Amino acid sequence: MSAGRKLVVEADGGSRGNPGPAGYGALVRDALTGEVLAEVAEAIGDATNNVAEYRGLIAGLAAASGIDAAARVEVRMDSKLVVEQMSGHWKIKHPGMVPLALRARELAEDLGSVSYTWIPRNRNAHADRLANEAMDAAARGEQWVRKVEETPGEPEPPPAPVRPPSSTPMTTVLLRHGETPLSVEKRFAGTSDVPLTANGLAQARAAALALKDRELDAIVTSPLARCRATAAEVAAVTRLDVRVEDGFRETDFGEWEGLTFAEAGKGWPAELKAWLADPEVAPPGGESFAQVSRRVRTALDKVKVRHREQTVLVVSHVTPIKMLVKDALGAPMPSLYRMHLDVAALSSIDWYADGPATLRSFNDVHHLPA
């Protein structure tokens, strides 16, 4: 498991009576994918709400450490007291809380980093449910512990070996969607859910045939219809499922949506000039390239986590694909304006865990009719 992985701990605790029959619940998620990696809950007999909440925090940190001792951890709890005390904003006055807080800090010090975030109870429902199961058991006078590191009801697998950085890359095959009515007229096409043209559908089928024997392991697509239709053609020949990843959607061009470059320049000359000069500047009512870059990197990180050493087809748009190429090359943002990417074009990047990425191909259209 790679060092510095980001994890989220959600924890809660409570008692029926304060003090009364008490229990805690905690879980660990992968911060990128949201997948639950571990759950733990325990009935702890008679205790106060605060003791149970601290016990939940301790259990969550211990579970995170067992997954990746070098992880960067964000703790999310609906206990304002625990969050403020562990963040160093409030003093710990109750003597019974001091040893619990010290134990939590010891666990936190052994992790890569730990931060604390207060969340409302309705956003802590999973941990709250686990804590209530534990309180129910405590109220029945049971000694009850639940520890799950995979889907409940399945046998526990053996611990996964710690793997060093791999010299085998994760490969993304990047496919721009087929032709649309807006691409024909060279208009800004961002979040508008425009369909493929008949020619665009034929291009998607041609790309699918070119990828049929590529030995793909997975298909990921932008949520927009033109990409989903393109991805569906590849799925039909490869028999792979398609996963939608919102981070690979096109830029939101705001007020410029559906306009040509000349029309945008005529209506917003100063804004267009500023947009071209600064990646932090967004079109009126839209999204900046810097924002797009951040979400595309997050989407790529999710793919890397799910598909280590595999080959993944990513069906996306001009801007996200150019962003990935830019990052692979370590190029500056203005390089986006020096790349030409055709509809239904294929590109390929190898992403290495132990070194820089390698651009293998770009704007390959050999599969399309002349």
Give me the count of residues in the chain: 370
Q: How far is CA 8 from CA 59, 60, 81, 134, 346, in A?
A: 13, 9, 19, 21, 36
- Give the Cα separation of 362 and 346 in Å (integer): 7
CA angle, corner 260, sides to 254 and 264, nearest 5?
A: 55
Catalytic residue among 53, 74, 149, 177: 177
Query: Who contacts 140 (Cβ-Cβ below 8 Å, separation ≥6)?
Result: none
287 is catalytic: no
| Contact assessment for residue 321 and residue 344, using Cβ atoms and an 8 Å cutoff | no
Amino acid code (one letter) for 107: L
| Contact assessment for residue 22 and residue 138, using Cβ atoms and an 8 Å cutoff | yes
Catalytic residue among 149, 250, 271, 287: 250
Half-sphere exposure of 319 (CA within 13 A, CB side): 24
CA 111 to chain centre: 21
250 is catalytic: yes
CA angle, corner 230, sides to 186 and 181, nearest 5?
A: 25
Residues involved in catalysis: 177, 250
